[in-house]
Amino acid sequence: MVTPTELRCGCSRFCAIAQEKLNINIYRGGDIVLFISKSSAICKLVCADAKGTSMLTRTLLAGRFEKML
């Protein structure tokens, strides 16, 4: 799904967005959701396991992430 998303959110908000817009329950585990900025220079990955949730942020200094859709 391609939709504008504010990337200043925290892990909890990204989990809520995944639940509301994609019907993916991150807290259940087993799913990884990737959010890419409009400029395609920043991406945030959100996932969960039995210990808790994790968010990884990757910022490119040069170039852009490839468009998926």
The answer to whether residue 6 sits within a structural domain is no
Per-10-residue mean pLDDT, the chain, length 69? 81 94 93 88 92 93 74
User: Which residues in 3-18 are b (16+ Cβ under 10 Å) and which e?
Assistant: eebeeebebeebbebb
Domain extent for 28: 11-59
Q: Global pTM?
A: 0.81
Residue-level pLDDT at 1: 65
The answer to whether residue 67 sits within a structural domain is no
Asked if residues 68 and 55 have their Cβ atoms less than 8 Å apart, the reply is: no
Instruction: Domain count for the chain, please give it.
Output: 1
The answer to whether residue 65 sits within a structural domain is no
Residue-level pLDDT at 51: 93
